[in-house]
A = this chain, B = another copy of it.
Amino acid sequence: MAEQRDERASVSPVRIGDVARAAGVSVGTVSKALNDRPDVSAATRERVRAVAERLSFRPNPQARSLSTGRSFAVGLLTTDIYGRFSLPLLLGAEDELGDGDLAVIFSDTRGDPQREVRQLHTLMSRHVDGIIVNGRRIERRPPLSDTGGIPVVYALTGSSDPADCSVVPDEAGGAELALSHLLASGRRRIAHVTGPRRHSSALVRADATRAYLRDHGLAVRGRVRFGAWTEMWGRAAIAQLLEAAPDVDAVFCGSDQIARGVLDTLREAGRRVPDDVSVVGFDNWTVMAEASRPPLTSVDLDIDRIGRLAARHLVSAIEGREPPRHTVVPPRLVRRESG
């Protein structure tokens, strides 16, 4: 990081972060002050302007861009815009970056590494101040090849380089939260129905489920059932399970869609939820969880917060501070009526 900053400093004599530090305010406040925004006090505005003038920092984006090599924009390089997770992340980041103070340049790689290289090149040629890289899968990813010293924060999908700044969810912790809730409500014969075995999220959640139950002297009822992230699989899996382990008293599901299918088939089989069988989902996809019968209790990985923290850490790095390298955001259990 220190090397990267030096490299950057040689390209850009006066950066927004220098003004912020010298004035003792945030980058956002510098922007607001220099852009005549109403939500900054007159005193702060004057102080920031004086500092900017002293440092020869120029407020006009084009002129500033030439003098500082910076654009006052950040890139969001996303590999999975179709996933339901990109949007909350983008919104969280936008909230944190502030109401138009820093522009977000959107780049969608669509999971294509060559496209990622081109998009990165484009962002760099635009002299963005920083980049958030957003993946969906929880396997760590290789870091971006070379960003010429531009700070990068990895969100949702962490970087495989421990020196990078990553903000990631706690998948195993989410599973433990669901199971501790089920155990606390007296359930002991707990099944687990989840997504494809080749998908790390499914594996990590399943491993955490097995380990947690083992630590409590229990085993997964009717073995872990891997399949697809769909309602159809939820329906099929619970039908098999009711044959193989008819005394099941709880089903922890790897996604809300799976849980939805499980709930529908349990009801049609005459099992009362949660009286006979508790069901807990994963993701807290509101539209799915609220329309379930009964409404679905679900694990929420707090993707909004991951987005906000990633943006906050990126601003720290842009301001020349050292953000934490690895942040794990704790999950929450959103209780509704299914368990």
Q: Which of A87-116 contact B (CB under 8 A)?
A: 87, 90-91, 94, 99-101, 103-108, 115
User: Is there a chain B Cβ closer than 8 Å to A61's Cβ?
Assistant: yes
User: Is there a chain B Cβ closer than 8 Å to A332's Cβ?
Assistant: no
Q: Knowing A62-B66, A65-B62, A291-B257 touch, does A122 contact B100 (C-beta < 8 A)?
A: yes
Which residue on B lies nearest to A36, using beta carbons? B121
Q: Indicate if the CB atoms of A291 and B230 lie closer than 8 Å.
A: yes
Q: Indicate if the CB atoms of B105 and A119 lie closer than 8 Å.
A: no
Q: Knowing A99-B115, A118-B100, A232-B291 touch, does A106 contact B108 (C-beta < 8 A)?
A: no
User: Is there a chain B Cβ closer than 8 Å to A127's Cβ?
Assistant: yes
Q: Which residues of B contact A119 (CB under 8 A)?
A: 99-100
Q: Which residues of B contact A35 (CB under 8 A)?
A: 125
The contact of A94 among B73, B108, B231, B257, by CB within 8 Å, is B108
User: Is there a chain B Cβ closer than 8 Å to A163's Cβ?
Assistant: no
Q: How many residues of A contact B (CB 8 A)?
A: 42
A9 vs B99: C-alpha distance when bound (angstroms) = 31
Q: Indicate if the CB atoms of A127 and B66 lie closer than 8 Å.
A: no
Q: Knowing A106-B105, A257-B287 touch, does A81 contact B73 (C-beta < 8 A)?
A: no
User: Is there a chain B Cβ closer than 8 Å to A325's Cβ?
Assistant: no
Question: Per DSSP, are chain A's interface residues mostly helix, strand or loop, or mixed?
Answer: helix
Q: Which residues of B contact A125 (CB under 8 A)?
A: 35, 61
A257 vs B260: C-alpha distance when bound (angstroms) = 14
Q: Indicate if the CB atoms of A106 and B106 lie closer than 8 Å.
A: yes
A231 vs B296: C-alpha distance when bound (angstroms) = 14
Q: Which residues of B contact A94 (CB under 8 A)?
A: 106, 108
The contact of A105 among B37, B81, B103, B115, by CB within 8 Å, is B103
Chain A interfacial positions (CB closer than 8 Å to B): 35, 37, 61-62, 65-66, 73, 76, 81-82, 86-87, 90-91, 94, 99-101, 103-108, 115, 118-119, 121-123, 125-127, 230-232, 257, 260-261, 264, 287, 291
Lowest 10 A-B CB distances belong to which pairs?
A231-B291, A100-B122, A106-B106, A104-B106, A103-B105, A100-B119, A62-B65, A100-B118, A105-B105, A62-B66
